Amino acid sequence: MSRQHVVIVGGGVIGLLTAFNLASKVQSVVLLDRSGVGQESSWAGGGIVSPLYPWRYSPAVTALAHWSQDFYPQLAERLLEVTGIDPEVHKTGLYWLDLDDEKEALEWAQRLNRPLSSVDISQVHDAVPVMGGGYSRAVYMPDIANVRNPRLVKSLKAALLAMPNVTIHEQSEVSDFVRDGDRIIGVSTAAGDVLGDSVVLAAGAWSGDLLGKLGLELPVEPVKGQMILFKCASDFLPSMILAKGRYAIPRRDGHILIGSTLEYEGYDKTPTDTALESLKASAVELIPALADAEVVGHWAGLRPGSPEGIPYIGPVPNHDGLWLNCGHFRNGLVLAPASCQLLTDLLVGDAPIIDPVPYGPEGRIQS
């Protein structure tokens, strides 16, 4: 076992799962979060275990997504076993309606041997009776799941709290890095410095600001997304559906999530009436019966926006001891299992699960 002490900055799903993976490989892990763990993008997202339009992404994102999709069921089983909290990986399939690039989507699926196929719209209405009319075409992927992200966060936190070599500090904002020459040996907080052999920056939308303390320019910025939540019968919506960039996600207990907006508003997380009305209109277009349902939740979160949605995973050049696992944009929950396993492999010197080159910070961040 490596005798390392690792400090992780950021307690979203990426930071939590990185800690979970590293705990069995290193001597100790300290995780710091500026608020409560998992309360930002990880809590606010929808939890579809797929990029919204997977064929529109680069092979780098696809490689992480496919590994993670295959791994999620066993991760959920393991977490349920050790914590008693079920992250609810719920395999419902996903229908895309009236795609502009349906041909490209089907060609992508054939090329990568993914089970995406076109289906007659009448079949969709048979499978999802509550779906609205007015749609003429559909493609379907049967094996896509959604994960109940707040429960995933709770389960990961509980698993970490039970590990004797893991410490979690909430309400512990990192203000700077501690340096010894060119080496990063820890981070500064209001309660004092926290030192380690390695520091992993997994601070989501705040990662770019923190790396700026070192004079490095990481193109990760906050991108606001708003969601609304309805409560219906548990069998009301049997599958996820997506049209015009908006989606409906069923949870096992009948909660229906509708999302999401894409807003470049800095760090403002205020839910707005404009977004509420827009999301309600999308909800009713997708599922007319929701016109009579009560909105039981409306919130906003900040995604870590990055160019092409390709995360930064690996060591920071010329700053020994500093590692990145951030910049997942809209796909943090989708890509988390693969991203965190890859970071763990690289940090402890194991053979990486996939080619790490596309995610390396080298050449992708400016000094």
For the chain, the domains span 5-46+151-220+308-359, 94-142+221-305
Q: What is the largest CA-CA distance in the chain?
A: 66
Could you say which residues of the chain have pLDDT below 70?
Answer: 1-2
Q: Where do runs of H (alpha helix) occur along 212-358? A: 273-286, 332-348
pLDDT at 2: 59
Residue 47 contacts residue 38 (beta carbons within 8 Å)? no
The dihedrals phi and psi of 192, each to the nearest 5 degrees, come to: 125, 180
pLDDT of res. 203: 98
Length of the chain (residues): 367
Peptide bond into 367 cis (omega under 30): no
5-46+151-220+308-359 against 94-142+221-305: fold identical: no
pLDDT at 366: 86
CB-facing half-sphere around the CA of 92: CA atoms within 13 A: 30
Task: Report pTM.
Answer: 0.96
- What b/e readout covers 275-286, taking b as 16+ CB neighbours within 10 angstroms? beeebbebbbbb
Q: What pLDDT shows up at residue 98? A: 98
- What's domain 94-142+221-305's superfamily in CATH? D-Amino Acid Oxidase, subunit A, domain 2 (3.30.9.10)
Tokens encoding 294: 């009560």
- Residue-level pLDDT at 1: 44
Which pLDDT belongs to residue 253?
A: 93
Fold for the domain defined by 5-46+151-220+308-359: FAD/NAD(P)-binding domain (3.50.50)
DSSP label at residue 130 = T
